[in-house]
Chain A
Amino acid sequence: MSREKASGGLEKASAPAKGAIVAKQVVKTYDTGKVKVEALRGVDLSVKEGDMIAIMGPSGCGKTTLLNCLSGLDDLSGGEIYINGKPLSGMNDRERTRYRAEKIGFIFQAYNLLPVLTSAENVELPLLLAGKNPKEARKLALEALRSVGLEEWSAHKPSELSGGQQQRVTIARSFVNRPEIVFGDEPTGNLDSESSKDIMGLLKKLNKENKQTFIIVTHDYTVGRMADKIVMMKDGLIEKEFVPAPY
Chain B
Amino acid sequence: MNGLQQLAVLVAIVLVVVGILAARRRVFARMAIRSILRRKKYSVIVVCGLLIATAMISGSLVAGDTLDYIIAREVMTNTDEVDIVVSALNETGDEAYFNYTFVSQVAASIGAGTSPHMDKVSGALRGYLAVKNLRTGLTFSQGGIFGFEVGATVNPLLDSDGVPAKIEDVSGGVAVINSRLADEVDAQAGDTLAGITDNGFPVMITVSWVAKDTGLANWDGSAYAFVDLSYAQSIIGQPGMINRIDVSCAGSKSSGYKVTDQAIAELQQQLPADPDFQYDAIKADGLEEAKAVSDMMSQLLVLMSSFAIIAGAALIVNIFVMLAEERKTEMGISRAIGMQRGDLTQTFMYEGVVYALAAAGVGAFAGLGIAMVVMSGTATIISDGGLQFTLNWDWASLGIAACAGFLITMLTVVVASWRVSKLNIVRAIRDIPEPVSVRTARRYLALGIAGIVFGVVASIIGAAQDEAWGVSAGPSLMALGVALLLARFVSFRVPLSVASAFVVFYVLDPFNVAGLIFGPSEGGMEMFLVSGLLLVSGCVILVMVNSDFLLNGLMASFGRKRSLLPVFKVATSYPMNKKFRTGLSIFMFALIMFTVIVMAMIASFQRESVEKTTQQLSGGYEILGFSMLEIPASNLTVGLELVNESVGAGAIMSYDIAAEGPATLIAPGQDEFDYPMIGFSDRMISEAKYTLMRRAPQYSSDIDAWNALLEDHSLVIMDGSVIPSQFGPTTFSGVSLDVGDVVTIRTPLGTEANVTIVGIMDQYFISGVFCSHEFLHAINPLAKDTLLYFETSHLPGVADSDVSKRMEQVFVEYGLTTMVVRDTVEEVMTMVASVMQLMEIFLGMGLIVGIAGLGIITIRNVAERRQEIGVMRAIGYQRDMILKAFLLETSFTSLLGIIVGTLMGLGISYTIFEWGGFAKMSEFVIPWGEILIVFAIAFVITLAATLPPSRKAARLAPAEALRRVD
Question: Which residue numbers of A lie inside 8 Å of B, CB to CB?
Answer: 65, 68, 71, 73-75, 93-94, 97-98, 100-102, 105-106, 108, 110, 112-117, 121, 125-126, 128-134, 159, 173
Contact = CB atoms under 8 A, between A and B. Distances in A.
Interface string B868-893: 10111111111100000000000000
Interface in B479-515: none
B735 interface: no
B573 interface: yes
A55 to B, nearest CB: 15
Given A74-B957, A106-B874, A129-B876, A116 B962 contact: no
B867 interface: yes
Nearest to A65: B959
B570 A114 contact: yes
Given A112-B867, A112-B868, A73 B878 contact: no
B562 A75 contact: no
23 contacts: A73-B870, A73-B958, A73-B959, A93-B879, A97-B876, A100-B876, A101-B876, A106-B874, A106-B875, A108-B871, A112-B867, A112-B868, A114-B570, A114-B872, A115-B577, A117-B569, A125-B569, A126-B875, A126-B876, A128-B566, A129-B877, A134-B562, A159-B433
Nearest to B872: A114
Contacts of A97: 873, 876-879
B560 to A, nearest CB: 9
B565 A128 contact: yes
Interface in B563-614: 563, 565-566, 569-570, 573-574, 576-577
Interface in B919-966: 957-960, 962, 964
Contacts of B960: 74
A181 B432 CA distance: 31
A98 B959 contact: no
Given A93-B879, A108-B962, A128-B562, A116 B874 contact: no
B563 to A, nearest CB: 7
Nearest to A129: B876
A129 B868 contact: no
Contacts of A112: 867-868, 870-871, 962
Contacts of A116: 570, 573-574, 576-577
B433 A100 contact: no
A71 to B, nearest CB: 7
Given A112-B962, A115-B577, A131-B563, A71 B867 contact: no
Contacts, number: 90
A94 B878 contact: yes
Nearest to A69: B959
B876 A130 contact: yes
A62 B872 CA distance: 23
A100 B569 CA distance: 20
Interface of B: 432-433, 559, 562-563, 565-566, 569-570, 573-574, 576-577, 867-868, 870-879, 957-960, 962, 964
A79 to B, nearest CB: 16
Given A121-B569, A128-B566, A159 B432 contact: yes
Given A110-B867, A128-B566, A159-B432, A71 B874 contact: yes
Nearest to B435: A159
A131 B562 contact: yes
Contacts of B432: 159
A121 to B, nearest CB: 7
Contacts of A134: 559, 562, 565
A73 B963 CA distance: 12
A106 B871 contact: yes
A65 B48 CA distance: 40
B855 to A, nearest CB: 21
A64 B562 CA distance: 33
Nearest to B560: A134
Contacts of B559: 134
Contacts of A128: 562, 565-566, 569
A35 B577 CA distance: 40
Contacts of A121: 569, 573
A75 B957 contact: yes
A97 B877 CA distance: 7
B454 to A, nearest CB: 35
Contacts of A93: 878-879
A115 B434 CA distance: 13
A48 to B, nearest CB: 23
Given A74-B959, A98-B876, A130-B876, A114 B871 contact: yes
B956 to A, nearest CB: 11
B957 A117 contact: no
Contacts of B964: 110
Contacts of A129: 566, 875-877
Contacts of A108: 871, 962
B433 A73 contact: no
Contact of B875 (A65, A68, A173): A173
Given A110-B964, A131-B562, A159-B433, 13 more contacts: A73-B873, A73-B962, A75-B957, A98-B878, A106-B871, A112-B867, A112-B870, A113-B871, A116-B573, A125-B566, A125-B569, A125-B875, A129-B566
A110 B962 CA distance: 10
Contacts of B569: 117, 121, 125, 128
A121 B959 CA distance: 23
Nearest to B873: A97
B880 to A, nearest CB: 9
A129 B877 CA distance: 7
Contacts of B576: 116
A75 B229 CA distance: 97
A90 to B, nearest CB: 18
Nearest to A128: B566
Nearest to B958: A73
Contacts of B574: 116
A81 B272 CA distance: 112
